[in-house]
Structure 1
């Protein structure tokens, strides 16, 4: 289980103008909810970018400030053109209380079917789980090396760590190997070059 720390400050002004000034000063406006009354905070943009190259619901974060809060990133807003995070939603979790969150699925291995010309379709990239914070896996890894053309791995096939319950439909397909890649040269009629006669 991955766990990181992040400093925060309480936001007193909650207007759009105040949020713009925060962003201009290198801060990211955020909200913390899940336990008690939601609170409005701000975190340092550079510190967040440095520690969180990818944003995942399976990373437990300890927010350090006026009070220490243990949270997950539940949602975020991004300025795609500028490539910056403009707002964060943190969900506060409690020790000893189960939580529902999403964990990414990582497939490993070079499938037999792909080596024989098939195509890998990685259809499901994350699953919803329920567990205690201490049992939260960073990701779920599945070895698909043995898959042949026509084979598939379903959610029901996933080996999960102890203490973790999968909430995603067990019949959902995680990955499958579809038919062989069409050979561009096959069934292509030859086109005779026309020679211009003077």
Structure 2
């Protein structure tokens, strides 16, 4: 995973009014904390930051007054209606450091004919090296039959990552599809034929 480089500006003003002005100027207020250091309050470039954090577990390289700070996103507050980013909490990380992250699970492939795949868990918790965080884990259900299950312990984890979720967590459950549409159509037709007789 490549670093996303962003220029950050230290801020000394706080409060909702200031945050509104910052967002109006195309910036996103953020706080950086971790490693026992005093939290750093910064403004990030709005468009570039929005694009960078679309990737799960993105590693951000922040230039603050010429100093590089590596950080990952811990929380994003969004406007409930417009869904624009209002504030970001960032966690300082160092190369070689292990951190805990939730990683999305993407189901790929087609199950056997007549089989429906239900994804029961959309993320799993992993411990991984801060500068090599996985953005997603793929699990293939290609050709799998009804009755098959995929548990967290079955996932292929990236090199150096360790599973923290319960290994027995059900990720994908494969079952037989519901009654075919033809049968449902036949039942509807039978119901319509019976309707006039009831009048």
Q: TM-score, normalised by structure 2?
A: 0.87
Aligned to 1:99: 99
Residue by residue over 1:34-80, the C-alpha shift from the partner in whole angstroms, topping out at 9 and shown as x without a partner, is 1211111111112223444x252x21111112221111111111113
C-alpha distance 196-76 of structure 1, shift in aligned 2 (>3 A): closer
Aligned to 1:65: 64
In the alignment of these two chains, the number of paired residues is 192
Q: 2:155 aligns with which of 153, 158, 165?
A: 158
Matched, 1:81 2:81: yes
- State the 4+ residue runs in structure 1 displaced beyond 3 angstroms: none
RMSD: 2.2
Structure 2 unmatched ranges of 5 or more: none
Aligned to 1:16: 16
State how far apart, in whole Å, the 2-side matches of 1:165 and 1:195 are.
Answer: 66
State how far apart, in whole Å, the 2-side matches of 1:138 and 1:195 are.
Answer: 61
Aligned to 1:43: 44
Residue by residue over 1:111-150, the C-alpha shift from the partner in whole angstroms, topping out at 9 and shown as x without a partner, is 11xx22x321112111111122244222211111132111
Deviation of residue 163 (structure 1)? 1.3
State how far apart, in whole Å, the 2-side matches of 1:195 and 1:176 are.
Answer: 44
Structure 1 unmatched ranges of 5 or more: none
State how far apart, in whole Å, the 1-side matches of 2:28 and 2:5 are.
Answer: 16
Deviation of residue 196 (structure 1)? 10
Q: Secondary structure at the match of 2:89?
A: strand
Matched, 1:144 2:141: yes
Matched, 1:132 2:134: no
Q: Secondary structure at the match of 1:21?
A: helix
Aligned to 1:29: 29
C-alpha distance 94-180 of structure 1, shift in aligned 2 (>3 A): same
Q: Conserved in 2, the CA contact under 8 Å of 1:55 and 1:73?
A: no
Q: TM-score, normalised by structure 1?
A: 0.87
State how far apart, in whole Å, the 2-side matches of 1:146 and 1:167 are.
Answer: 29
Q: Is the helix fraction higher in 1 or 2?
A: 2
